[in-house]
Structure 1
Amino acid sequence: MLPEPSLTPPPTRPMPAYPRLLRVIRFVRSLGPGLITGASDDDPSGIATYSQAGAAFGLATLWTALLTFPLMAAMQEMCARIGLVTQQGLAGTLRKHYPRWVLYGLLLFTFPAIVLNIGADLEGMGAVAHLLVPQVPTFAFSVLFTGLMLVAIIRFPYQRLASILKWLCCVLLVYLVVPFLVKQDWANVAHHTFIPEIQFTKAFAAMLVAILGTTISPYLFFWQAEMEAEEMQHRSIANGHGRRVMVNKRLLQGMQADVNVGMFCSNLIMFFIILTTGVVLYSAGIHQIDTVEQAASALRPLAGESAYLLFAGGVIGTGLLAIPVLAGSLSYATAETFHWRSGLDRQLRQAPAFYGTIALSLVAGVLLDLFGISPIQALLYTAILYGLTAPVMIAIVLHLANNKSVMGELANGKVSNTLGLVTLVLMSAAAVLLLYFQLAG
């Protein structure tokens, strides 16, 4: 006689680890413009600012990483959505829907700010590389890095360059390791993360303005929209006969996940840089850090050789990631403004003005040192120019994202508008404070 069938269902086995791993790998591969944009925000100039914050005020500014995450994510998501819907960058969309003087004015302020940012990054990378290999002068390293990046930008098509930039994002992981090489009071870290500390001093207010200006930068708006538009153009080609791809729920969710992951990673790195310098340098009485090489050198005797090498290597890696984004955002904006042929998929002979703008911005950046402009001066001028343009750019992005004749059903909702307005108020206040500090001397 056959045994009676059991009414109890068989126990469910846990899913093997490898399907979950495959899902994670697929998700990482799906990340693109948002991840690269977020990672490029932690450039050597940003690292210098966050190191200054940690050295000068310890853990007192840790909470800013938590505050700026939703604001960054909201603004970058709006820019990405504009790029997806219009299949144009911000400059091209502004050219179509705004008076020309608005676009020309933004470009007038953006061009020198980005060139100064590139110059500060190149000089910081060169100085850190000189620390590692003292036999080679700082300027020689800066020229070498400039040449390498220019060749890569011209030589590789967009998909290959995007893949290289995405892998370079892994360099940022070194900053997650450094704090664990020294002893931490994690209860104190949690306290400063979730409970804001405000010091009513000019120096602390200036640092908050610098952190906001470094974290929420206008060039990121241009790059995010351009890269999303480029991705959509690639999908149109893959779709056959260049048919326009409609933005569906799946595309929108994928973009939002990409942006959120990118901005989260950016702020996580910011958090750990402030944590590292706040614990190591501030505790040792080193409160004045002006450059990334000073931060790296100060870490060496206090946190050990491993922390020093990881921090220094991270500076070079982040520069290789951020500078193509800086130069690319400027070139895309300029090309769309003057209606030039553009695109990282085009060859040099197909878009000479586009690649010429990239080359000009890189060469101008590396030559700043010859004109006696120090990285600190470049950072100061960059902060002023970004501080002046950021509120205007945020207001324009908000207006575009709410314009139903441009965005249709994908116009902003209440959450996006609330976060965008908070960002506008904060950045406007930061701009006013920045001007006050400069005029007050």
Structure 2
Amino acid sequence: MEFIYNFKRRALILLAVLGPGMITAFADNDAGGVATYSVAAAKFGYQMLTALIPITVVLMITQEIGARIAIVTGKGLADLIRERFGIRISILVFFLLFIVNFGVVLQNIGGLKSALLLFGFDYRIFLPLLILFLFLFITTSSYVRIERFFLFLILFYIAYLASAILARPDWTIALQSLVIPRGSVNFDYLYTAVAVLGTTITLWGQFFINSYVKDKKITPEKLKYERLEVYIGAILTDIVSFFIMVAVTATIFQNGLAIEGAADAALAVKPFAGELAGLLFGLGLLIAGFIGCAIVPLATAYAFSEFFGYEG
């Protein structure tokens, strides 16, 4: 009975801290991330899967550091930068962060546009409506409601699992490729691997998880549970990345096709894995772009308020 009681208590604590690690990690798989994974898999196939485990480990470490800093200090990363380096450096860092985040948001808007076109919707009507919905929802909803909404959206990433299954890959080779390097490692491969790393470990993600944990008021006593939540989020998001790359490899790479983005991948998957697989891939892109369009501006707002001491 004591074991059951302790298990339930720990499970409830884990559920209580659920959010920062999970949402930040999955938001890293935004429209740009889906595009990068798709292009990498179309170019190198199963060979690129070898990079996933090291990238997952790095993501776990960096996200844990961000969460740990917030829990121990009770301050956001931008707060600490301002206090340590002053307002001038803060202005410079925020300016650079704003430029990068602006580009990421545009990338996600482009992903939303492509996904809407895949489903036959007029993006000139539905894209502004989606953006307006996001703005109104975030500015009028409670913290808890927003958190639950994005945790719910994460469930739709299962579309990539279904898409990968429909693509009928060689699962043995795919799983072996996670730990056994295949093919030659040249400059082109390393360059692409760095791009995959860069789309997973993001600048805005470090600011976001730090501020999110601070806002959630997670205490040092719950540090080990938040660490576990961060690790689970990092592993699950890269499992999604695995399925994205497997789906693309089994269809596009195996047939010698070239693509330029996630929308191309969704279209190219259809002839080989069926209409449903392409639509599921497109659904994943839609959700990824939607989450990215929400979380990256939130990260920017967090950083602005902390860099300049605004608590509104």
**Structure 2 length-normalised TM:** 0.92
- Kindly tell me: are residues 256 and 26 of structure 1, through their superposed partners in 2, closer, same or farther at Cα, counting changes over 3 Å? closer
More helix by percentage: 2
- Which runs of structure 2 are paired with 1:381-396 in the superposition (5 Å)? none
**What SS class does the counterpart of residue 281 from structure 1 fall into?**
helix
**What SS class does the counterpart of residue 256 from structure 2 fall into?**
coil
Which AA in structure 2 matches 1:129?
Answer: L
Q: 2:9 and 2:167 mapped to 1: Cα distance? A: 34
Residue of structure 2 in register with 1:336 after alignment: 306
Higher RCO (C-alpha under 8 Å, 6+ residues apart): 2
- Which runs of structure 2 are paired with 1:320-359 in the superposition (5 Å)? 320-341=290-311, 351=312
Which AA in structure 1 matches 2:90?
Answer: L
- Kindly tell me: are residues 283 and 162 of structure 1, through their superposed partners in 2, closer, same or farther at Cα, counting changes over 3 Å? same
Q: 1:179 and 1:280 mapped to 2: Cα distance? A: 9
Q: Between Structure 1 and Structure 2, how many residues are aligned?
A: 308
Q: 2:151 and 2:180 mapped to 1: Cα distance? A: 34
Q: 2:125 and 2:209 mapped to 1: Cα distance? A: 32
Q: Aligned pair 1:266/2:237, yes or no?
A: yes
1:32 to 2, 14, 19: 19
Q: 1:109 and 1:69 mapped to 2: Cα distance? A: 26
Q: 1:332 and 1:170 mapped to 2: Cα distance? A: 25
Give 5+ residue unaligned stretches, structure 1: 1-14, 236-245, 342-350, 352-441
Give 5+ residue unaligned stretches, structure 2: none
Residue of structure 2 in register with 1:222 after alignment: 207
Residue of structure 2 in register with 1:435 after alignment: none
**Cα deviation 1:155-198 (Å, max 9, x = unaligned):** 11211101111111111111122211132222211221102346
- Kindly tell me: are residues 276 and 26 of structure 1, through their superposed partners in 2, closer, same or farther at Cα, counting changes over 3 Å? farther
2:260 to 282, 290, 298: 290
Residue of structure 2 in register with 1:171 after alignment: 156
Question: What percentage of aligned pairs have identical amino acids?
Answer: 26
Q: 1:29 and 1:99 mapped to 2: Cα distance? A: 35
Q: Aligned pair 1:61/2:48, yes or no?
A: yes
Shift of 1:203: 2.8
Which AA in structure 2 matches 1:168?
Answer: L
Q: Aligned pair 1:155/2:140, yes or no?
A: yes
Does the Cα contact within 8 Å between 2:41 and 2:48 map onto a contact in 1? Answer: yes
**Structure 1 length-normalised TM:** 0.66
Q: 2:183 and 2:300 mapped to 1: Cα distance? A: 35
Q: Aligned pair 1:108/2:81, yes or no?
A: no
Does the Cα contact within 8 Å between 2:14 and 2:229 map onto a contact in 1? Answer: no
Q: 1:25 and 1:313 mapped to 2: Cα distance? A: 32
- Which runs of structure 2 are paired with 1:127-276 in the superposition (5 Å)? 127-134=114-121, 136=122, 138-197=123-182, 199-232=184-217, 247-248=220-221, 251-276=222-247
Q: Which has the larger radius of gyration?
A: 1
Shift of 1:256: 0.5
After TM superposition, the runs of 4+ consecutive aligned structure 1 residues lying more than 4 A away are 20-30
